[in-house]
Amino acid sequence: MTTAISVSGLVKTFGATRALDGLDLEVATGEVHGFLGPNGSGKSTTIRVLLGLLRPDGGRSELLGGDPWRDAVALHRRLAYVPGDVTLWPSISGGEAIDLIGALRGGLDPRRRAELLERFDLDPRKKARTYSKGNRQKVALVAALASDAELLVLDEPTSGLDPLMEAVFQECIREVRAEGRTVLLSSHILAEAEALCDRVSIIRLGRTVQSGTLAELRHLTRMSMVVETERPADGVGALPGVHDLRHDDGRVSFDVDTDALDGVLRHLAGLGVRGLTSTPPTLEELFLRHYGDELAEDGVPVAQEAGRP
């Protein structure tokens, strides 16, 4: 297994803010790697160091076998980048922007460009000032996906996409992986990472807190469920792995550990289930639950950090 990205002990400060505080990240060639963390945890900063846009204050980083700062231009020809907040030139059309970004990287495949425009349902004639946030993001996505770059660096690429387009995006990423290309996908949506990623790294406050396959991280997750049953579901609260049981107008809602899910469902089946919704936890909830106590002990203001929009 060769590595596409290898970062260790990365430090980056902005004045008094320590945005990266000894961050580690390993991405193997050919994998889709999820880069997860709550708002302000340092995902974009890490990516911008990897792109040679920011100069790190400490640590070691290697990208496609080169130094991100020193070899920036040569490395950029081999990768495609979609920024988190895509801004374009107001008077330039989406199609022109795609061609420009593609040409400066070293050309893009016109057939694939046309196909992607179709799939993302993007009108390339519109001037950027008339695009919505999601459509600007599509412009950057088409430019990146129509290239033959061996590494795709995507910073929260779906934050403005609707569910239909999110599905198209996931399809595209699977194709990219099938071609043996590498993807670094930053996100704060756990579900997206679960759908796409071979491995994930979870960071918080500029430090890596977990890294591994999703199965390895599964023990971290806890589902939120709302159930409506024919007979009262009072016994649920006593089952192992069930937390925070609340009664609410004939329904019960509670959280359940993933590894206890099977037992809970068996129990509910005997009560005559009329309705059931389950939601995976947001990343913020995950952090609060698993690291909250630990961080609070260190004097880190957890609730405030995780509650940021």
Ligand X SMILES: Nc1ncnc2c1ncn2[C@@H]1O[C@H](COP(=O)(O)OP(=O)(O)OP(=O)(O)O)[C@@H](O)[C@H]1O
Q: How far is the CB of 107 from ligand X (least distance, A)?
A: 30
Contact mark string toward Mg ion, 221..240, x via CB under 5 A? --------------------
Query: Within its chain, how far is the Cα of 248 from the centroid?
Result: 33
204 sits near ligand X (criterion: CB under 6 A)? no
43 sits near ligand X (criterion: CB under 6 A)? yes
For residues 225 and 216, give the distance between their C-alpha atoms in angstroms, rounded to a whole number. 23
Task: State the binding partner of 45 from other proteins, Mg ion, ligand X, none, CB within 5 to 8 A by kind.
Answer: ligand X
Task: State the binding partner of 41 from other proteins, Mg ion, ligand X, none, CB within 5 to 8 A by kind.
Answer: ligand X
Picking from 185, 190, 249, the residue whose alpha carbon sits closest to that of residue 218 is 190
Return the axis-axis angle of helices 110-119 and 94-105, rounded to nearest 10°.
140
For residues 157 and 119, give the distance between their C-alpha atoms in angstroms, rounded to a whole number. 16
Contact mark string toward ligand X, 160..199, x via CB under 6 A? ----------------------------x-----------
45 sits near ligand X (criterion: CB under 6 A)? yes
Q: CA Rg, the chain, in Å?
A: 22
Return the axis-axis angle of helices 133-145 and 110-119, rounded to nearest 10°.
150
Contacting residues for 65 by C-beta, under 8 A, at least 6 apart: none
Contact mark string toward ligand X, 77..96, x via CB under 6 A? -------x------------
84 sits near Mg ion (criterion: CB under 5 A)? yes
The residues of the shown chain that bind other proteins, judged by CB under 8 A, are 48, 51-55, 72-73, 76-77, 79, 81, 83, 85-96, 99-101, 103-106, 124-127, 129-130, 140, 153
Note the helical H segments in the chain.
43-50, 72-76, 94-105, 110-119, 133-145, 163-178, 190-196, 214-217, 261-269, 283-297, 302-306
* Options 3-11, 32-40, 166-174, 194-202: segment touching ligand X (CB under 6 A): 32-40
Nearer to other proteins by C-beta: 53 or 223? Answer: 53
Nearer to Mg ion by C-beta: 146 or 205? Answer: 205
* Backbone conformation region of residue 299, classed left if phi is above 0, alpha if psi is from -120 to 50, else beta: left
Q: Which residues bind ligand X (CB under 6 A)?
A: 14, 17, 19, 37, 39-45, 84, 188
